Amino acid sequence: MKKIAVALIIFGLTVVSVSAQVFKAGAAVRLITPSPLLPVSGGIGTPKKAVEAKGELFVRACVFERGGTRVAIVSVDNLGWPSVLGNKSRALIKGIPPENVLIGATHTHSGPDAYGFPNEKGESFADLPYLDKCVHAIADAVNEALATASPATLKIAVGDAKGQIAYNYYAPALYDPRCGVIQAIATSGTNAGKPIVTLVNYAIHPEVIGSDRGILSPDLCGPLCQRIESKAGGVALFMNGAQGGMVTADNRRENGKEANTWEECTRIGELLADEALRIVTPAEPQANPTLFCTTRNVTFPIESEVMKYIVKNSLLKYPVAAGDKVVAQVNLLNLGSAQILTIPGEALPNIGYYLKRHMHASVPLLFGLTNDAFGYMLTKVDFNSFKRYEYISRTSLGENTAEIYMDEALKLIADSPKADGYK
C-alpha cells in the first residue's frame, strides 16, 4: 500500500490511506452529582431545596470519527444546557471543531439550575462554581472519548417503543412513539463484538419526580442508561426529541392519580431501555458508515417579555444581539443510515413529525434541547391558540420561533447530502 501511495504522489495524485478512512467510536462518562446537594430547578422560579438524591447525575459523551471528520455528542442530566455554558466546554475540547460538538440535555426536572433563572427581584440562584465543574466535566468526557476511540461498525434502527412510557398530557395520543437507536460495536481489541456506546433518541419529559419534592435525580434517564449498560455493556446516553406541549412520562394510575416515585422512574426507564435494545438488536451492522456534519447559526427574535427578562437578567450573561435577538447553532449530522437534526428548544410533536417527514434518511432523528434550550417552539397557528397553550406560548421566544427554525432546517436538509441508503 505504501509503495502504491508513493507512486500516486509522484504522478501528482493525492491519496488518503485506507486506515485514515476507518470509522471509529469512543465514549466516556463523568459524574456531576453535586456534593453537597444543590436546590432543584424544574423551570422558571426559585429552585427548591434538595434534601435527598435518587440516582446520580452524569455527563455522557460519545465521539465518532471517519477520515478527517470528527463529531461529539454529549448528554447532560439537566433541564437544559445553554450555549453560554456549552461554548465554554467547546473551547476546552481538543481535536474536534467546536461546531461539531453537539451538547444536549436529558431535560430531567430534578437537577440544579443551569439557566440562572432570575426571580421577580432579578435575583438568580444558580451555583456558578458547580456549573463550571460541569463545563470541565463535559470537556474531559469528550477528550477521553476521542482519545480512546477505536474501529467500529454501527447498528442503527428505529421503531415504536411499546408499553406505558409516554403520552401527551394535552391530547394523549398526539405524541411520537418512535424510538431511534444508534449503537457502535467495537471491531478490534479485547472488546471486539461488544457495544462501545448505545444512543437512545426518544421524545419525553423526564418529570416523574419533578422539582417540588426536594429530590435531586436524573429521573427516568438514569435507570434507562443503567439498564442498557448492564445488559449490553459500553456507555449509554439519552438524547431527547420533540417533546414540547406536553409529551411527558406516562405515570398515570387509576382515578386520575400519578405515581411520582423513584420506583416509577425505574419502571419507565428500564422499559424504554428494553424497547431500545429490542429495536436495535436485529439491525444489520453498517461497516465504515458515512459521517457528515454541518451547522448553521439561526437568529431568533425574543418577543416574549418573560423570556426577555430571563435572558437579560440571568447570572450567565446570555449574549443578546441588537434588536433583542438570540443566535442558536443548529446541526445536521449524517451517521450511516441516520440523519440527525438538532433543535435549540422544546419543539411540539407536530413540528417533529413534519421535519422527520422531510429528512433524507430511512432513520430520521431529532435531538431536542441541543446546543441551546430556548423554551417551547410552537408553529404560529398553535401559538396562543388554545387555553392549554397559554403557558408554553408565554415561555416561548415568540410566535415565529418555530417557523424560523423549520425554514432554516429545511434549507439545511436541502443543502446537505442524503444519509446512507436513502433513495
pLDDT at 20: 58
- Asked if residue 8 belongs to a domain, the reply is no
Torsions phi, psi for 144 (to 5 deg): -70, -40
349 domain residue, yes or no: yes
For residues 330 and 295, the answer to whether their CB atoms sit within 8 Å is yes
Does the residue 4 lie in any domain? no
Q: Going by DSSP bridges, is the β-strand pair 101-105/291-301 parallel, antiparallel, or unpaired? A: unpaired
- Cα–Cα distances in Å, from 282 out to 131, 181, 339? 40, 12, 20
Q: Is residue 334 part of a domain?
A: yes
How does pLDDT run along the chain (423 residues), one tens digit per residue?
Answer: 444 443 334 445 444 444 458 999 999 999 999 999 999 998 888 899 999 999 999 999 999 999 999 999 999 999 999 999 999 999 999 999 999 999 999 999 999 999 999 988 888 889 999 999 999 999 999 999 999 999 999 999 999 999 999 999 999 999 999 999 999 999 999 999 999 999 999 999 999 999 999 999 999 999 999 999 999 999 999 999 999 999 999 999 998 899 999 999 999 999 999 999 999 999 999 999 999 999 999 999 999 999 999 999 999 999 999 999 999 999 999 999 999 999 999 999 999 999 999 999 999 999 999 999 999 999 999 999 999 999 999 999 999 999 999 999 999 999 999 999 998
Q: Name residue, grid cell 467495537.
A: 186
Domain membership of residue 287 (yes or no) is yes
Assess if residue 188 is contained within a domain: yes
The grid cell for 215 is: 429530590
Alpha helices in 255-299 (DSSP H): 262-280
Count of domains forming the chain:
1
- pLDDT value for 9: 41
Beta strands 166-168 and 247-249 are antiparallel
Sign of CA dihedral 287, 240, 299, 91: negative
Does the residue 391 lie in any domain?
yes
Q: Describe the crossing of helices 128-147 and 83-90 by its angle, rounded to 10 degrees.
A: 50
By the 8 A CB rule, do 246 and 141 touch? no
Distance between CA atoms of 81 and 371, rounded to whole angstroms? Answer: 7
* Residues spanned by the domain of 144: 22-422
Could you report how far apart the first and last alpha carbons of the chain are, in Å?
34
37 CB-contact burial (10 Å; exposed 0-12 / middle 13-18 / buried 19+): middle
The three grid cell numbers given for residue 326, joined into one nine-digit string: 438570540
**Has residue 136 been placed in a domain?**
yes
Picking from 342, 348, 408, 353, the residue whose alpha carbon sits closest to that of residue 375 is 348
